[in-house]
Chains A and B, each alone.
Chain A
Amino acid sequence: MAKKKQAKQAEVNIGMVGHVDHGKTSLTKALTGVWTDRHSEELRRGISIRLGYADCEIRKCPQCGTYTTKPRCPNCLAETEFLRRVSFVDSPGHETLMATMLSGASLMDGAILVIAANEPCPQPQTKEHLMALEILGIDKIIIVQNKIDLVDEKQAEENYEQIKEFVKGTIAENAPIIPISAHHEANIDVLLKAIQDFIPTPKRDPDATPRMYVARSFDINKPGTEIKDLKGGVLGGAIIQGVFKVGDEIEIRPGIKVTEGNKTFWKPLTTKIVSLAAGNTILRKAHPGGLIGVGTTLDPYLTKSDALTGSVVGLPGTLPPIREKITIRANLLDRVVGTKEELKIEPLRTGEVLMLNIGTATTAGVITSARGDIADIKLKLPICAEIGDRVAISRRVGSRWRLIGYGTIEG
Chain B
Amino acid sequence: MFIMRREFPEEGDIVIGTVKDVKPYGAFVELLEYPGKEGMIHISEVTSGWVKNIRDHVKVGQRVVAKVLRVDERKGHIDLSLKRVTEQQKRAKVQEWKRFQRASKMLERAAEKLGKSLEEAWEEVGYLLEDEFGELYNAFETMVIEGKEVLDDLEISEEWKNVLYEVAKESIELTNVEVEGVIEMKSYAPDGIKQIKKALTTALKANPYEDVEVKITYIGAPKYRVVVIAPDYKSGEEVFKKVCEKAVATIKKLGGEGTYYRESKK
Q: Which residues of A contact B (CB under 8 A)?
A: 219, 221-228, 230-233, 249, 256, 269-272, 297-302, 304
Interface status of B194 (Cβ within 8 A of chain A): yes
Residues 185-225 of B, flagged 1 when their CB comes within 8 A of A and 0 if not, give 11111111111110011000000000000001111111010
Give the CA-CA distance A404 to B191 in the complex, in Å.
43
Give the CA-CA distance A227 to B190 in the complex, in Å.
18
Q: Please indicate the chain A residues that have their CB under 8 angstroms from the CB of B191 in the complex.
A: 232, 271-272, 297
Q: Which size bracket describes the interface of B in this complex?
A: 20 to 34
Q: 8 tightest CB-CB pairs across the interface, nearest first? A: A299-B192, A301-B221, A232-B193, A225-B218, A297-B191, A299-B187, A271-B190, A301-B222
Give the CA-CA distance A223 to B216 in the complex, in Å.
11
**B218's contact among A222, A233, A272, A302, by CB below 8 Å, is which?**
A222
Known contacts A227-B201, A256-B188, A302-B188; is-contact A297 B193 (Cβ 8 Å): yes
Q: Please indicate the chain B residues that have their CB under 8 angstroms from the CB of A223 in the complex.
A: 217-220
Contact A219 B194 (CB under 8 A): no
From B224, which residue of chain A is reached at the shortest CB distance? A227
Could you list 15 examples of A-B contacts with CB < 8 Å? A221-B218, A223-B220, A226-B218, A227-B216, A228-B201, A230-B196, A231-B193, A232-B191, A297-B190, A297-B191, A299-B189, A299-B192, A299-B195, A299-B256, A301-B222
Contact B193 A300 (CB under 8 A): yes
B213 CB → nearest A CB, Å: 14
From B200, which residue of chain A is reached at the shortest CB distance? A227
Give the CA-CA distance A110 to B197 in the complex, in Å.
43
**A300's contact among B194, B201, B221, B256, by CB below 8 Å, is which?**
B221
Give the CA-CA distance A233 to B186 in the complex, in Å.
12
Q: Please indicate the chain A residues that have their CB under 8 angstroms from the CB of B196 in the complex.
A: 230, 299
From B220, which residue of chain A is reached at the shortest CB distance? A223
Q: Which residues of B contact A (CB under 8 A)?
A: 185-197, 200-201, 216-222, 224, 256
Q: Please indicate the chain B residues that have their CB under 8 angstroms from the CB of A300 in the complex.
A: 193, 221
Q: Please indicate the chain B residues that have their CB under 8 angstroms from the CB of A299 in the complex.
A: 185-189, 192-193, 195-196, 221-222, 256
- Count A-B contacts at CB 8 Å: 77
From A251, which residue of chain B is reached at the shortest CB distance? B190
Q: Please indicate the chain B residues that have their CB under 8 angstroms from the CB of A301 in the complex.
A: 186-187, 192, 221-222
From B219, which residue of chain A is reached at the shortest CB distance? A223
Give the CA-CA distance A269 to B188 in the complex, in Å.
8
Q: Please indicate the chain B residues that have their CB under 8 angstroms from the CB of A271 in the complex.
A: 190-192
Contact B217 A225 (CB under 8 A): yes
Q: Please indicate the chain B residues that have their CB under 8 angstroms from the CB of A270 in the complex.
A: 190
Give the CA-CA distance A189 to B218 in the complex, in Å.
48
Q: Please indicate the chain A residues that have their CB under 8 angstroms from the CB of B222 in the complex.
A: 299, 301
From B188, which residue of chain A is reached at the shortest CB distance? A256
Contact B218 A298 (CB under 8 A): no
Q: Please indicate the chain B residues that have their CB under 8 angstroms from the CB of A225 in the complex.
A: 217-218
Give the CA-CA distance A269 to B221 in the complex, in Å.
18
Q: Please indicate the chain A residues that have their CB under 8 angstroms from the CB of B195 in the complex.
A: 299
Contact A227 B218 (CB under 8 A): yes
Contact B192 A228 (CB under 8 A): no
Q: Please indicate the chain A residues that have their CB under 8 angstroms from the CB of B189 in the complex.
A: 299
**A230's contact among B186, B188, B218, B256, by CB below 8 Å, is which?**
B218
Give the CA-CA distance A227 to B12 in the complex, in Å.
56
Q: Please indicate the chain B residues that have their CB under 8 angstroms from the CB of A256 in the complex.
A: 188
Q: Please indicate the chain A residues that have their CB under 8 angstroms from the CB of B188 in the complex.
A: 256, 269, 299, 302
> Which among B195, B196, B216, B218 has the greatest number of chain A C-beta atoms within 10 A?
B218
A7 CB → nearest B CB, Å: 31
**A304's contact among B217, B220, B256, by CB below 8 Å, is which?**
B220
Q: Please indicate the chain A residues that have their CB under 8 angstroms from the CB of B219 in the complex.
A: 223
B252 CB → nearest A CB, Å: 14
Q: Please indicate the chain B residues that have their CB under 8 angstroms from the CB of A272 in the complex.
A: 190-191
A287 CB → nearest B CB, Å: 24
Q: Please indicate the chain A residues that have their CB under 8 angstroms from the CB of B200 in the complex.
A: 227
From B216, which residue of chain A is reached at the shortest CB distance? A227
